[in-house]
């Protein structure tokens, strides 16, 4: 079982997707995302398997939640720096988003 202290180690922030591309070299269908987490953290990249529920062009400007303090992970020729959070559903992965617009970089608390 994870402890509350384990949860507190995660740095989960709000970011805004500013760029999305198809990730042709990924083994499973995915997008390459560039996400702006505000002045403190900056722009980070992520690979996300969200192609079943989202079109690339619909992702731009969308606010999402992401774990920003995991080490980078190489996927093919791309380094994913952030784990974008989503829910596994029968229609595919659905992104977790703030209910209302908030500041980029705001921390989940």
Q: Which domains, and CATH codes, for the chain?
A: 10-95 (2.40.50.140)
Q: Return the bridge partners of 35, or none.
A: 17, 44
Q: What is the mean pLDDT of residues 69-98?
A: 97
d(CA 24, CA 1): 37
The percentage of the chain sitting over the pLDDT mark of 70, rounded to a whole number, equals 100
Q: Is residue 61 classed exposed, middle or buried when 0-12, 13-18 and 19+ CB atoms within 10 A define those classes?
A: exposed
pLDDT tens track for 28-81: 999 999 999 999 999 999 999 999 999 999 999 999 999 999 999 999 999 999
Report pTM: 0.94
Cα separations in angstroms, 20 against 11, 32, 45, 108: 23, 6, 10, 24
pLDDT of residue 109: 81
């Amino acid at each position: 079982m994870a402890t509350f202290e384990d949860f507190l180690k995660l740095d989960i922030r709000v970011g805004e997707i500013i760029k999305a591309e198809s990730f042709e070299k990924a083994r499973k269908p995915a997008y390459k995302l560039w996400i702006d987490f505000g002045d403190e953290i900056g722009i980070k990249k992520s690979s996300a398997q969200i192609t079943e529920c989202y079109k690339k062009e619909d992702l731009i400007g969308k606010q999402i939640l992401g774990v920003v303090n995991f080490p980078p992970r190489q996927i093919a020729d791309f380094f994913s720096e952030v784990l974008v959070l989503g829910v596994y559903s029968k229609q595919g992965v659905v992104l977790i988003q703030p209910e209302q617009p908030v500041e980029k970089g705001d921390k989940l608390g």
